[in-house]
Amino acid sequence: MPLFEFFSVALLSLMAAISPGPAVLMSAKTGLTEGFRTGASLACGIGTGAVIWAMAALFGLAMVFEVAPALLTALKILGAGYLMWMAYGMWRHASEPMLMDTDIRPPRSAASAFRLGLFTQLANPKPAVMFSAIFIGAVDPGTPWPVFAALLAVVFLNEFGWNTFVARLFSLERTRRGYVSLKTLIDRCFGGMLALLGIKIAAS
């Protein structure tokens, strides 16, 4: 695989990570409400989910979706349902005051944040199709396994790095102070956007 093509794939993967979606939205929300460390654990789960979809793309899951479109439809509906459930939780608890005292309500554990990030990423099956579009023509079936491993590492680092950055940005004290004063409005905006993304995934 030529070096130019490798870096082209890496850049496209980064652009996909940066594009707004459920993962970025959840990173911002987690950074705001639970801090940077929890957000970083969430980002690790998001990166792992992206690697799973990238592996699926490399091994032909998109072709399976073409042969059995009902499978893609089912995955979309399940994923959309999961996102809608999270959106409902955000909306329902939006008016509750934010407890800043971690002794009263500590952030979720690293493992719990990782699972949330993983499930949020896996709730959207469209990355499998997107990664297939990125890899087609750039990754030859005879590509050595170290190159495959390097591509998957790039996918992880792009997703992890960007979502960690988002979590860090929203975990800053100045950002959090603004959030506390507008918590109900912001949480309902987050919930509404997540619900819309779920509907978009199911309908597209």
Residue with tokens 């998001």: 46
Residue with tokens 């949020």: 120
Where does residue 38 rank: exposed (0-12), middle (13-18), buried (19+ CB within 10 A)? buried
pLDDT for 87-120, tens place per residue? 777 677 666 665 544 444 567 899 999 999 999 8
Where does residue 94 rank: exposed (0-12), middle (13-18), buried (19+ CB within 10 A)? middle
What residue spans define the domains of the chain? Answer: 3-203
Q: Whole-model pTM?
A: 0.73
What angle do the packed helices 145-171 and 22-34 form, to 10 degrees? Answer: 40
CB 150 within 8 A of CB 10: no
pLDDT for 177-195, tens place per residue? 766 666 677 677 777 776 7
Nearest-CA neighbor of 125 among 65, 66, 166? 65
